[in-house]
Structure 1
Amino acid sequence: MKYSSVALLILSSILFFSCSSEDTQPYIEQESIYFPPLTSETWDTKSLSEIGWNVTEQQPLLDYLEIKNTKGFIMLHNGKIVVESYMNGHTESSSWYWASAGKTLTTTVTGIAQDEGILNINDKVSDYIGTGWTSIPLEKENLITNKNLLSMTSGLDDTLGEDISAENLQYLADSGDRWAYHGVFLKLQDVIANASNQTWNSYFNTNLKDRIGMSGAWVPLGDLNIYWSTTRSMARFGLLTSAKGKWENTQIVSQDFLNQATNSSQSINQAYGYLWWLNGKSSYHLPQSQLEFNGELISNAPSDMYCALGKNDQKIYIVPSKKLVVIRMGEAADGTNFALSNFDNELWEKINLVIN
């Protein structure tokens, strides 16, 4: 094919200016995620003004948190601390309970165990802890998988209280047919202990806690097993999750598993993954209720946010689009609640004034 001299001149001019335009574009380096040292309380910070946040709205946010019975509050941006405050008698070294926000610790350790090949979430629970762990007929018990425990779809009666002994685990529906917030998820800790030939505490410490520099301990409370730690340790876990399961150069839990965990796990409650709550869905269910509510879980929060929510307003909010992790520990902001409360929406109204 032959080109005229004019056409060649035009083509060369286009290529020249195109290359020149690309070459002169400023190179903007993407800030990598920061991870605090494993064996030190050192944690790098950055100012609100560095990332363009509204400095004048920080103190009103902290004042609001204090009157709402908050004890510890942290905001991370790309891993670095931007806001950290302790109030109402709490300090950086004080421990507090995670309540149901700690469910997501069990989620992550389940993912680690599956990554290691010692369990499969699609297997039935009785493959790991034997039959008779409920009082329901064997053919119904054998329908319940580890995934059903992660997604709150065991079908077991959630109206009988927190007792998860066999006699209190009774049939209400086939697994997968009903979503209900239930403490039976704790059976996953027995599954992991048996699958690993270790105690739950030992496997948790070795495979998660120690690898990301967390402090804290599991404290048995009746039939419950509640995690207690500093606010910074909760922030470490939030950072790990926001970094897609990676801590510096080490993949602690697979990104594939976390993707499953932080997306709708079933069709009944769109706003629930594997023990994680999900914003941005068209409807949601609440604990202790079979009602479906239209709209987003927390309308003032970003749609891509997912969160760990615990009794009396223990919170881990993760917002990928904002590179943001928010931690709140303390007493109930208003009245006693199971997980979600009006406080979530009010708090996000205040947070938005800071980050926007």
Structure 2
Amino acid sequence: MKKRYWILSILFVLLSIAIFWNYPKLDLISGFAAKNTASCHFADARSLRTIECEDNDIPLVNLATNAIDDDNRFATASVFGLKKRKAIWRDGLGSVLIDDDFDIHQKFEVPHRRQIATNLPFPYGDFPQKNTVFSDIDYKKLQTAVDSAFDTSNEKRKRTRAVIVIYKDHIIAEKYAPGFSKNSKILGWSMTKSITATLFGILQKQNKFDISKPAPIAEWQHDRRKKITVRDLLQMNSGLEWTEDYETISDATTMLFNSRDMGRVQLEKTAIANPGENWNYSSGTSNLLSGILRKQFKTHQQYLDFWYSALIDRIGMHSMFVETDMAGNYVGSSYAWATARDWAKFGLLYLHNGNWNGDRIFDKDWLDFVTTPTKGSEGRYGGHFWLNRGGFLPNVPRDTYSANGFQGQRVFIIPSKDLVVVRMGLTEGKKFDFDNFLSDILLSIK
């Protein structure tokens, strides 16, 4: 009896110490859990069990206790009953993590969507693609390469959810993990940054914006930040202070889980270097760019509509939606959702240099900009796209570039092979070898 008492006492002390040291993080843990639970459930109809075992299966986040209210369309989360957070679902705007001062009864504008049915096959329409067999493809080898991206049996390592390979505008391979399909909406995380950037390319083609001019931010006009251009921001080379760390209380986590207007977090940071001297990846910069986009329109409704009319619905990514923060601005760093097929359409738009079946979305010089390495990135980063110029993926063509997101979301564009490859999942780094994955696919094409 005494032994059990001492064991329980020790466990209690250890738990108390753990809570003490991590208490400041609890807001972020429960915030992540509530937001992700609401989005996954209401956007893609995932069960609470699936969300907790898969989407929220992240160290510390998996400590949260979550609940879903289907009738009132919100989710809550807390850690050991502490720091309870709430995320509400709003049609057209997705899930938003709210604070105690947020008025859930306020009226809000939603983007107007337009879907035009066509009699064209994928990717330009809604009809099934024509059965086409390419003589230069070893389909057995291709299928083996795709299969190898997925876990077998009860393995939980690669955790791939979707793979789609498109060659010469045709789907030549497509596979989904159990519970997922071509209709499943999957969060792109930082692939959203590439969506945000593309809107500047569209405005520039319309002669409505010049990325080479200083950023139109009044608060910067009386200090060294006045020299920062939108080009600098798109290249993550503004010189602004920022810490992108998701394991601590950092600028990035504070912005995503404790800020009403996410764009202002980076806006209020001081300059620690001159533009072009300090490449520093920053999600805050992408949300600042979303705020700059808002300033290009007279009304909030026009801003909301532009993302869809100018890009998303224009190229038929009708499953895609982008979530907003409490201030009503799109979270341009992180919160775009779409099916794997619609993410692939985005890749195809870039593969075709901005021309979507005869509709010129952006000019070729925009493509040249986003695929030009930014100073200090060692050939790995361009204009809100990741590059392979420096050979980070040694067995993949150097002209490969991609939209990248947390946990291994990827849209790869490989112009020299007329290829787009999408992989959606929950792992990256040592657990998922993108170099081997892509090189095996490429070896199947003669």
Same fold (TM over 0.5): yes
Instruction: Supply the distance in 2 between the matched residues of 1:91 and 1:347 (Cα, whole angstroms).
Output: 21
Equivalent residue, structure 1, for 2:336: 227
Equivalent residue, structure 2, for 1:70: 160
Equivalent residue, structure 2, for 1:205: 308
The structure with the larger Rg is: 1
Alignment partner of 1:98 is 2:98: no
Equivalent residue, structure 1, for 2:51: none
Instruction: Supply the distance in 1 between the matched residues of 2:377 and 2:143 (Cα, whole angstroms).
Output: 40
Unaligned runs of 5+ in 1: 1-33, 282-295, 336-340
Change (3 A) 1:201 1:324: same
Contact 1:151 1:275 in 2 (8 A): yes
SS class of match (2:392): coil
* Residue 221 of structure 1, CA deviation: 6.5
* Residue 180 of structure 1, CA deviation: 0.6
* Residue 117 of structure 1, CA deviation: 1.9
Equivalent residue, structure 2, for 1:31: none
Equivalent residue, structure 1, for 2:322: 218
Equivalent residue, structure 1, for 2:349: 240
Contact 1:201 1:218 in 2 (8 A): no
Unaligned runs of 5+ in 2: 1-119, 152-157, 244-249, 256-262
Contact 1:118 1:196 in 2 (8 A): no
Match of 1:122 among 212, 219, 239: 212
Instruction: Letter of the 2:191 partner, please give it.
Output: A
Contact 1:196 1:203 in 2 (8 A): no
Change (3 A) 1:69 1:230: same
Equivalent residue, structure 1, for 2:294: 193
Change (3 A) 1:41 1:197: farther
Q: How does 1:80-99 map to 2 (within 5 A)?
A: 80-99=170-189
Change (3 A) 1:176 1:255: same
SS class of match (2:141): helix
Match of 1:329 among 400, 415, 424: 424
Equivalent residue, structure 2, for 1:9: none
Alignment partner of 1:280 is 2:364: no
Q: Structure 1 runs of 4+ off > 4 angstroms?
A: 221-225
Instruction: Supply the distance in 1 between the matched residues of 2:313 and 2:161 (Cα, whole angstroms).
Output: 25
* Residue 241 of structure 1, CA deviation: 0.6
Alignment partner of 1:178 is 2:278: yes
Match of 1:308 among 396, 403, 414: 403
* Residue 346 of structure 1, CA deviation: 2.6
* Residue 354 of structure 1, CA deviation: 2.0
Contact 2:186 2:424 in 1 (8 A): yes
Greater mean deviation of Cα atoms: 317-326 or 164-173: 164-173
Alignment partner of 1:46 is 2:132: yes
Equivalent residue, structure 2, for 1:30: none
Tell me which of the two structures has the higher relative contact order, counting C-alpha pairs closer than 8 angstroms and 6 or more residues apart: 1
Over the matched positions of the two proteins, sequence identity in percent amounts to: 27
Instruction: Supply the distance in 2 between the matched residues of 1:37 and 1:257 (Cα, whole angstroms).
Output: 22
Q: Deviations over 1:64-111 (max 9, x none)?
A: 111121111111111111111111321110100111122111121110
Equivalent residue, structure 2, for 1:110: 200
Pairwise CA RMSD of aligned residues? 2.4
Q: Deviations over 1:218-255 (max 9, x none)?
A: 12468654100001110111111100000111101111
Instruction: Supply the distance in 2 between the matched residues of 1:156 and 1:41 (Cα, whole angstroms).
Output: 47
Contact 1:66 1:88 in 2 (8 A): no
Contact 2:188 2:336 in 1 (8 A): yes
Alignment partner of 1:165 is 2:260: no
Instruction: Letter of the 1:210 partner, please give it.
Output: D
* Residue 42 of structure 1, CA deviation: 2.9
Q: Deviations over 1:127-169 (max 9, x none)?
A: 2x4325xxxx832221211001110001112224212534862
TM-score (norm 1): 0.76
Instruction: Letter of the 1:191 partner, please give it.
Output: I
Match of 2:361 among 252, 268, 271: 252
Change (3 A) 1:131 1:334: closer
Contact 2:402 2:411 in 1 (8 A): yes
